[in-house]
């Protein structure tokens, strides 16, 4: 089963045209399945709630998405911030869907200029009535173009946990998106930062029992031989002898400033970093040009191979909270 996670910044109405609504927390999910050439293909639409009031759900979606859809009812600070967030996160393929409010008009040429400036030059524009069939066909084609995540199965396992609970007859279950590598039944795993070892009892992807989950899959992991207190939102599941993460109390980053961002960080300011579904808070301890040093309130887990994008945000910055990215 091949899954393409798609970030949708837009309406519930548009999302329902593309898939069947499923989970709803701070992120709504919508799923469309088809069998193509004998293979089950899945488009998973992830719609962050509360944006623009809260930016964290959007950043969480961007951590797992490989493509994007942006519904534009008007050109505003929030639509510009969404474009910048998508561009800084490296979501290089997608479509902007112009859907103006009644009686209003959005200039597609201006949308094109803003997309290009935000780093989304490969994005297309849909100006007019949305045909969900053609849009889904585009996403399936995009899935082919981007290639299978199975190629990354040899990378170290990185699985951030966003939910966990105890199920009668099953035991401890942790849920999250596989960010790198793969996880199989009976694997030994380590939970960070507790450094506790457990064993995978079973796996479920989209309510189906599976032998393996790969990058991009949202998976439920039943675990045994593990203390429940080891699990919490934001902990990481890795493989004991192939840890793909390094915990840092202090990080030195070379930041690429976000498009349109005029603010310069200063020593003592509070920032957040988003990567692999983490949202860590820290304080700037030094600034030299685009090189900044951040001291974290709790360890920030960085991929050992540097293979993920880190977004630096400042929650009280206006009109845009995205400060820049670290690649």
Look at residue 90 in the predicted model and tell me its pLDDT.
96
| Residue 152 pLDDT level (bands cut at 50, 70, 90) | low
Residues 103-119 have pLDDT tens digits of 789 999 999 999 999 99
Domains of the chain: 2-147 (3.40.50.300), 152-238 (2.40.30.10), 245-326 (2.40.30.10)
Q: Are 222 and 205 in contact (CB under 8 A)?
A: no
In the predicted structure, residue 160 carries a pLDDT above the cut 60: yes
In the predicted structure, residue 71 carries a pLDDT above the cut 60: yes
**What Å distances lie between residue 183 and 176, 190, 206, 211, CA to CA?**
12, 12, 15, 9
Burial of 113 (0-12, 13-18, 19+ CB in 10 A): exposed
Q: Are 30 and 20 in contact (CB under 8 A)?
A: yes
What string of DSSP letters covers 159-228? EE-SEEEEETTTEEEEEEE--BSEEETT-EEEEETTTEEEEEEEEEETTEEESEEETT-EEEEEEES--G
Look at residue 167 in the predicted model and tell me its pLDDT.
86
**64 in helix, strand or coil?**
helix
The model's pTM is 0.92
**86 in helix, strand or coil?**
helix
Q: Are 183 and 155 in contact (CB under 8 A)?
A: no
Q: Considering the chain, what is the average pLDDT of its residues?
A: 93
Residues 264-274 have pLDDT tens digits of 999 999 999 99
Q: Are 238 and 192 in contact (CB under 8 A)?
A: yes
């Amino acid at each position: 089963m091949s899954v393409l996670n798609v970030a949708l910044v837009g309406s519930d109405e548009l999302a329902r045209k593309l898939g069947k609504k499923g989970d709803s927390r701070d992120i709504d999910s919508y799923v469309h399945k088809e069998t193509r050439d004998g293979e089950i293909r899945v488009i998973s639409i992830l719609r962050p709630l509360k944006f623009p009031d809260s930016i964290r759900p959007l950043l969480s979606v961007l951590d797992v998405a490989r493509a994007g859809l942006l519904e534009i009812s008007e050109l505003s600070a929030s639509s510009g911030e969404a474009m910048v967030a998508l561009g800084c996160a490296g979501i290089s393929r997608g479509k902007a869907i112009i859907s103006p409010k009644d009686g209003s008009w959005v200039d597609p040429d201006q949308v094109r200029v803003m997309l290009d400036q935000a780093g989304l030059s490969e994005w297309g524009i849909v100006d007019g009535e949305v045909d969900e069939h053609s849009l889904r066909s585009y996403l399936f084609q995009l899935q082919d173009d981007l290639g299978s995540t199975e190629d990354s199965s040899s990378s170290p396992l990185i699985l951030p946990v966003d939910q966990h609970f105890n199920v009668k007859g099953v035991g401890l279950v942790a849920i999250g998106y596989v960010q790198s590598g793969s996880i199989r039944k009976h694997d030994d795993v380590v939970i960070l930062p507790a450094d506790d070892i457990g064993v995978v009892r079973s796996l479920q992807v989209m309510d189906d029992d599976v032998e393996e989950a790969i990058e991009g899959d949202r998976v439920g992991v039943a675990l045994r031989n593990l203390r429940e207190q080891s699990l919490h939102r934001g902990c990481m599941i890795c493989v004991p002898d192939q840890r793909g993460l390094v915990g840092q109390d202090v990080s030195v980053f070379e930041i690429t400033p976000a498009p349109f961002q005029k603010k310069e960080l200063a020593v003592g300011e509070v920032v957040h970093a988003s990567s692999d579904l983490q949202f860590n808070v820290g304080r700037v301890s030094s600034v030299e040009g685009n090189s900044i040093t951040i001291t974290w309130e709790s360890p920030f887990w960085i991929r050992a191979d540097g293979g993920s994008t880190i977004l630096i945000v400042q929650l009280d910055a206006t009109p845009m909270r995205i400060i820049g990215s670290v690649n």
